[in-house]
Amino acid sequence: MEYRAFGQTDMKVSALGFGGAEIGQQVDARQVDALLGSALDAGLNLIDTAACYGRSEELIGQAVSHRRNDFYLFSKCGHASGLSTPDWDVQTLRDSIDRSLKRLKTDYLDLIQLHSCSLETLQQGVVIEVLQQARDAGKVRYLGYSGDNEAALYAVESGAFDSLQTSVNVADQSVIDRILPAAQARGMGIIAKRPIANVAWQYAETPDNAYYVTYWQRLKALQYDFTRRPTTEAVSVALRFTLSVPGVTTAIVGTTNPGRWQQNADLANQGPLDATEYDAIRNRWHEVAKPDWVGQT
């Protein structure tokens, strides 16, 4: 597994990180134990989750808290997700962070991220102050913003965050031209979410999952040559494209299949995408992408 410096922090993270969204729904503890155990054994050292991912935090805490020194633990806050106070309320943020620590069975988080709050909320500044207070109290080590478009650019330019998590993939490239260079210039760690575009090209008809539809529509227009290859080869190209984007530190991939982690690690270990193929994907995007093809949260 390749390891990369996470911005200006003291962390050196695996190029492939575990995304905890998928395990939050209808996955039992034994399956998560096997899944995370295999991921850590494959060399992964970054687990990213969120307070609103169902039972994700609890399951992660149960499965791997005894291996806490083997990985960096990132979470997100902001949504009430069962708390009595509103989203983005000061008390919600404080209680959410404390709840995450309890669920994850840890004394600290390596990174806490604001979970896709609006530009207006960011501009008010209070949400940032709450995270800074949590850092000062030793509950978290670093601060991040997870989101896209104008809010992501504001978060980068504010100078308040150590990292940015944002959508980067073959069907979502607007961030590459505008936001990532600014984040890279500020020495931020950059986490790519949705790095394989949900493999949306594999659907012959409109996907049932609404979360995939925008990418499916874009990919039908883009008609990349690589999407016609066998699925494993195509996923390899898509993943390695994202990992080859300048500034990207790590790509977060979620799965409920324990055997998938070694497969993903093997794909990532094939190294950067060939420059000719990378440039072809970028050029095709610039030829076809419409002005409203903005980042998808």
Query: How much is the average pLDDT of 93-119?
Result: 98
Query: How much is the average pLDDT of 116-131?
Result: 96
Both structure tokens of 72: 């960096």
Write out pLDDT tens, residues 128-164.
999 999 999 999 999 999 999 999 999 999 999 999 9
Write out pLDDT tens, residues 13-27.
999 999 999 998 878
| Residues 80 and 119 sit within 8 Å (Cβ to Cβ) | no
The pTM of this model reads 0.96
Write out pLDDT tens, residues 151-202.
999 999 999 999 999 999 999 999 999 999 999 999 999 999 999 999 999 9
Residue 71 has pLDDT above 80, yes or no: yes
Q: How many CB atoms lie within 10 A of CB 254?
A: 20
Residue with tokens 């050292």, as numbered in its chain = 45
Long-range contacts made by residues 25-34, C-beta under 8 angstroms, separation at least 24?
25/54, 25/55, 27/55, 27/59, 27/256, 29/59, 29/62, 29/63, 31/256, 31/258, 32/59, 32/60, 32/62, 32/63, 33/62, 33/63, 33/64, 34/258
Listed in sequence order, the DSSP H helices in 179-224 are 180-185, 210-222
| Nearest of 104, 101, 166, 157 to residue 134 by alpha carbon | 101
Q: What pLDDT is stored for residue 211 in this prediction?
A: 93
